[in-house]
């Protein structure tokens, strides 16, 4: 949910500012682009170099760059951000922002911001409970700013009570939940398959294909970014999921994938069948490794269960089923035949004739055809961008 988000992180002068360094790292790791604005007091607790290194962006603390006299434009910074987070925010800064005072870069950016603003207070117990502070917090909330409430625990003064800044992991989770409420696919359950299947010949060898799983994993990540509850069933793949919300089920063979998909299918709204499932498997699996022989070696194959056809037969009217067609000749004709035969709502076609498309690579070129035979062809893109096109097409359909 934070992938690609532009975040302004304001840091005030508090012992809790060391947590902001950890928070910066977590935000960047989640895919966000982070720019840090520090008050002068904050620079006494953590150096700007720390935040610059972690965020991979310059750190802002004054209106002018001392060496060049160049202006740090507070209006441009405010317009750049998707949202602003001030963590920690002190009693002093809360008072300034609540009452419209503007005597540093952070307050100037805040007063210029049109984006959502979140703030995480940090101060001692008695200070936090003071009526003036509570009044100012209420004022900030009345401006539609969102408070990430302080936690209960041991404070820098030695007192125990409310006032500790929320932990970085808690702030990250709060942001993901808050941003998720407005996501277009919030509440939708999506089942995605990815990768190849391996059909064993003996304990050592198998029949498989060149699918890496990259496309299916990218689709899973994109649906999760848009708020969907995603389950990914993957054949053997070295791909790693970044979104912690995605539930992953690992399988190996076509039979295992068949059973996992059928177990999950009834509870889902959208099914994206991207896996390259083997059409055939060995009729017999040797219990021991087959030794090399000078004569010819023949493996008798039998058909695997057609997962996509079986889902098309049991699909409800309120479910969306999407299949993939990787073709080498008469591509569109074969894709449409598959769309109709298997009762799909969409089919995503790509051709091995298109340079940069297909297995293993980081790019793909697709055509999406719906059940009414309306089609849209996209240029060669990264698989992440292709995933966005597929997700957008389904979201528009919904």
For the domain that residue 232 is a member of, what is the CATH number?
3.40.50.10300
For the chain, what is the radius of gyration of the CA atoms? 27
Same structural domain, 168 and 300: no
Q: How sure is the predictor about 327, in pLDDT bands with cuts at 50, 70 and 90?
A: confident
pLDDT at 1: 67
Mean pLDDT along residues 301-321 = 96
pLDDT at 125: 87
Same structural domain, 136 and 45: yes
Same structural domain, 141 and 172: yes
Q: Is 324 known to sit in a ligand binding site?
A: yes
Same structural domain, 67 and 114: yes
**Burial tier of 393 (Cβ tally within 10 Å: 0-12, 13-18, 19+):** middle
Position 148 in a domain: yes
Enclosing H/E stretch for 218: helix 214-225
Contact 122, 16 (CB under 8 A): yes
For 148-167, what is each residue's pLDDT tens digit? 999 888 878 787 888 889 99
Position 1 in a domain: no
From 115, 147, 180, the end of a domain falls on: 180
Q: Is 338 known to sit in a ligand binding site?
A: yes
Range in 82-91, 245-254, 360-369 the model is least confident about:
360-369
Question: Is residue 212 over pLDDT 70?
Answer: yes
Same structural domain, 124 and 207: no
Give percent of the chain above pLDDT 70.
96
More confident residue, 359 or 294: 294
Strand 320-327, strand 346-351: pairing: parallel
Position 358 in a domain: yes
Same structural domain, 200 and 341: yes
Range of 248's domain? 189-397
Question: Is residue 358 over pLDDT 90?
Answer: no
Distances (CA, A) of 77 to 34, 47, 60, 163, 169: 11, 21, 10, 29, 25
pLDDT at 160: 85
pLDDT at 279: 93
More confident residue, 334 or 64: 334
**Of these residues, 57, 72, 73, 209, which one is catalytic?**
209
11 three-class SS: strand
Distance CA 290, CA 201 (A): 9
Distance CA 398, CA 395 (A): 5
Same structural domain, 148 and 211: no
185 three-class SS: coil
Q: Is 265 known to sit in a ligand binding site?
A: no
Position 300 in a domain: yes
Question: Is residue 62 over pLDDT 80?
Answer: yes
From 180, 214, 230, the end of a domain falls on: 180
Across 53-57, 239-243, 353-357, which has the greatest mean pLDDT? 53-57
Enclosing H/E stretch for 166: none
Q: Walk across the sheet containing 83-89 and list its strands.
A: 33-38, 6-11, 83-89, 117-121, 146-147
Q: Is 289 known to sit in a ligand binding site?
A: yes
DSSP 8-state secondary structure symbol assigned to residue 267:
G
Same structural domain, 132 and 91: yes
pLDDT at 181: 60
Position 95 in a domain: yes
From 137, 157, 180, the end of a domain falls on: 180
Q: How many separate domains does the chain show? A: 2
Mean pLDDT along residues 253-280 = 96
- The whole model's pTM is what? 0.62
pLDDT at 288: 93
Same structural domain, 64 and 111: yes
DSSP 8-state secondary structure symbol assigned to residue 155:
-
Question: Is residue 306 over pLDDT 90?
Answer: yes
- Structure tokens belonging to residue 317: 């009217």
Contact 202, 56 (CB under 8 A): no
Same structural domain, 170 and 107: yes
Give percent of the chain above pLDDT 90.
71
Query: Catalytic annotation on 72?
Result: no
Same structural domain, 219 and 133: no
Question: Is residue 65 over pLDDT 90?
Answer: no
Question: Is residue 283 over pLDDT 70?
Answer: yes
pLDDT at 182: 61
Position 333 in a domain: yes
Contact 8, 79 (CB under 8 A): no
- Structure tokens belonging to residue 312: 């098309």
Q: Is 342 known to sit in a ligand binding site?
A: yes
CATH code where residue 33 lies: 3.40.50.1950
Position 369 in a domain: yes
DSSP 8-state secondary structure symbol assigned to residue 184:
T
Closest C-alpha among 147, 257, 109, 108 to residue 192: 257
pLDDT at 304: 96
Same structural domain, 266 and 299: yes
Question: Is residue 360 over pLDDT 80?
Answer: no
């Amino acid at each position: 949910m934070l992938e690609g988000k532009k975040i302004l992180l304001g840091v005030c002068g508090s012992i809790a500012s060391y947590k902001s360094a950890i928070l910066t790292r977590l935000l960047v790791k989640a895919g966000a682009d982070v720019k840090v604005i520090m008050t002068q007091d904050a620079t006494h607790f953590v150096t700007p170099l720390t935040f610059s290194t972690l965020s991979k962006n310059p750190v802002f603390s004054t209106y002018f760059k001392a060496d060049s006299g160049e202006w740090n434009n507070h209006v441009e910074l405010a317009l750049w951000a998707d949202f602003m987070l001030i963590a920690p925010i002190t009693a002093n800064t809360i008072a300034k922002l609540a009452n419209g005072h503007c005597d540093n870069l952070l307050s100037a950016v805040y007063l210029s911001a049109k984006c959502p603003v979140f703030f995480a207070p940090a101060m001692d117990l008695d200070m936090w409970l003071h009526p003036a502070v509570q009044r100012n917090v209420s004022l900030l909330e009345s401006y539609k700013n969102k408070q990430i409430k302080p936690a209960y625990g041991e404070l820098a003064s030695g007192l125990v009570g409310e006032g500790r800044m929320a932990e970085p992991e808690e702030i990250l989770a709060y942001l993901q939940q808050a941003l998720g409420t407005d996501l277009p696919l919030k509440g939708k359950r999506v089942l995605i398959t990815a990768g190849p299947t391996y059909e064993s010949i003996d304990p050592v060898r198998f029949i498989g294909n060149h699918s890496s799983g990259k496309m299916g994993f990218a689709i899973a990540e994109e649906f999760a970014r848009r708020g969907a509850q995603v389950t990914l069933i993957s054949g053997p793949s070295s791909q790693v999921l970044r979104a912690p919300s995605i539930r992953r089920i690992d399988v190996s063979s076509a039979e295992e994938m068949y059973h996992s998909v059928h177990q999950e299918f009834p509870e889902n709204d959208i099914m994206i069948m991207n896996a390259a499932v083997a059409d055939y498997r060995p009729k017999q699996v040797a219990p021991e490794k087959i030794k090399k022989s000078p004569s010819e070696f023949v493996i008798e194959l039998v058909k695997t269960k057609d997962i996509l056809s079986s889902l098309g037969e049991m699909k409800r009217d309120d479910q969306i089923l999407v299949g993939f067609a990787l073709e080498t000749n008469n591509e569109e004709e074969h894709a449409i035949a598959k769309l109709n035969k298997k009762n799909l709502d969409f089919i995503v076609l790509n051709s091995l004739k298109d340079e940069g498309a297909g297995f293993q690579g980081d790019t793909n070129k697709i055509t999406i055809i719906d059940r009414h035979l309306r089609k849209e062809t996209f240029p060669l893109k990264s698989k992440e961008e292709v995933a966005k096109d597929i997700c957008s097409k389904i979201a528009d359909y919904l």
